[in-house]
Amino acid sequence: MKTIDELLAEGVAGKRVFVRADLNVPLADGKITDDGRIRAVQPTIAKLAEGGARVIVASHLGRPKGAPDPAFSLAPAAARLGELLGTDVAFATDTVGASAKETVAALADGRVAVIENLRFNAGETAKDDAERGAFADQLAELADVYVGDGFGAVHRKHASVFDLPARLPHAAGYLIATEIGVLKKLTDEVKRPYVVILGGAKVSDKLAVIDQLLGKADRLLIGGGMAYTFLYAKGHEVGISLLQKDQVDVVKEYMERAEKNGVELVLPVDILASTEFPDLKGKTPADFVTVDADKIPADQEGLDIGPRTRELYASKIADAETVFWNGPLGVFEHPDYAGGTRAIAQALVDSDAFTVVGGGDSAAAVRTLGFDENAFGHISTGGGASLEYLEGKTLPGIAALEV
C-alpha cells in the first residue's frame, strides 16, 4: 500500500488530488455536534495543500436516497473544515455536475474544495458494478490522484471507495494508515491480557466479531441492549428489555465455547431498569430501580448496567495490556443512564493498557461525556469498519488501495 508520504515525495504540486474522507458527522438543526471525523482527516488534507496540491475532498453524510436532500448537505462540514484548516474551503453544490467541475477548475495550488454528498448520486452505492463504475468514471475526471482516508467507509463497496482507486494513481492517507496499524495491534500483535468490551443494542450486530474473539481475547465483557439476550440464554427473565430470541441458541453456543476455550465471558450482575424508556431530553422515569440482573421485573426494561457491574467490569480491565471497546453500556444519551458507559470510559483512562475505542456510538459517548480524547490509546473513526476487520473480513476500500 502506497503511503501519502511516498506520494508527497514524488510531488503533488499542481496536481488535482481527490481525497475520499469521512465527513459523516452528526448534525442537529444544521449544526455539527461532533467534529471528530473532520479533525481526523485534517492532517492529510493540510499536508497535501502544503505540498501544493489542488485538494478535492469528497464524502458521504447520512443515508439520502441517491438524490439531493438538503438535510444531508456537506455544507456544514465544509465550513468546519475551513475553520480547522484556517483557510477558505470552496464548496461545490453537486458531485460531478457543473458546480463540481467549475469549482475544481478554479482551484489554485494549495487550495481545498469539498464537493457535495456523494450519496446524492445513486451510482455511489449501486449494487450494479456498471452503474457504480460509471459514477467512478465521472469522479475520476475531476482528479489526477486518489488518496483514501475515509476509514469509516472502507468496509463499503462503493464507487468512491472501491472503484475510483482503480482508475487513478492512489495512496493511503494518514488516518487509514493509523487505523490499520492500531487494528493490527488487536489482531496480530496483541499484548495480554486482552480485554474486549462489547455493548450496543443488538447482539446480532456483534455475533461475527464475538465468533472471532472467542479464539483471541482473554475476557469479553458484555453490556448494552445485547446483554439481555445473553442473560435470557442463561435462563434469566429480562422483563421488557431488548431481546433477540432468534439469537438465543447462537449465544448459548458461544457461551459454551468461551468456557471451553478459557475465555472469561462476563455479564452484568445488576441493572438499572424502568417501566418506560427515558425521554432523551432529560426527563427521568420516576420508577427506575437497580435490580439484580437475574431478577428484572416482568414489566421493566434494562437501561444501563448497575453500580456493582461497573465495579466488576473496572476490575476486569485494571490489569489488561490491551483493551478494545465497541458499543455503549446503556442509554448514554440520557444522564441518568450514562453511568455504565462513563464507568467503562474511566476504567480505560485509568488503565495502563493500550486502549482502543471502536468508533461509532462509543466514540460519540466518550466525547459527549467530556473525556479527553488523548487519554485513550486510539479513538477509531469507523465502528463498522473496525468490527469487520476484527471479524477477519476483507475491507473493499483497503483492498483497493493495496492493488
Is 384 labeled as catalytic in the residue annotation?
yes
What pLDDT is attached to residue 282?
Answer: 67
Catalytic residue among 37, 54, 132, 206: 37
Q: How far is CA 235 from the centre of its chain?
A: 33
What pLDDT is attached to residue 142?
Answer: 98
| DSSP string computed for 261-283 | HT-EEE--SEEEEESS---TTS-
120 in Cβ contact with 68 (< 8 Å): yes
- Cell numbers at 295, concatenated: 431478577
| DSSP string computed for 88-100 | -EEE-SSSSSHHH
Catalytic residue among 39, 111, 202, 308: 202
What tens digit of pLDDT does each residue of 23-64 get? 999 998 889 988 999 999 999 999 999 999 999 999 999 999
- Cell numbers at 315, concatenated: 476490575
Residues contacting 349, CB < 8 A, separation 6+ = 355, 371, 372, 375, 376
Closest to 27 (Cα-Cα) out of 66, 77, 63, 89: 77
Tally the residues of the chain.
403
Alpha-carbon distance 334 to 332, whole Å? 5
**Phi-psi region at 384: left, alpha or beta (left = phi > 0; alpha = psi -120 to 50):** alpha
Alpha-carbon distance 59 to 163, whole Å? 15
Is 282 labeled as catalytic in the residue annotation?
no
Task: List residues bridging with 31 in a β-sheet.
Answer: 28
What pLDDT is attached to residue 189?
Answer: 85
Q: What are phi and psi of 109, to 5 degrees?
A: -55, 135
Task: List residues bridging with 145 in a β-sheet.
Answer: 17
Catalytic residue among 199, 360, 382, 397: 360
Alpha-carbon distance 118 to 124, whole Å? 6
Residue 6 to residues 11, 130, 169, 284: CA-CA distances in angstroms?
9, 32, 12, 55
- Coil, strand or helix: which one is 325? strand
- Cell numbers at 151, concatenated: 476509514
Q: Indicate the DSSP class of residue 53.
A: -
Q: How far is CA 58 from the centre of its chain?
A: 18
Task: List residues bridging with 112 in a β-sheet.
Answer: 55, 89
81 in Cβ contact with 42 (< 8 Å): yes
Is 342 labeled as catalytic in the residue annotation?
no
Q: Which residues does the chain have with pLDDT short of 50?
A: none
Q: What are phi and psi of 272, to 5 degrees?
A: -90, 125
What pLDDT is attached to residue 5?
Answer: 97
Is 202 labeled as catalytic in the residue annotation?
yes
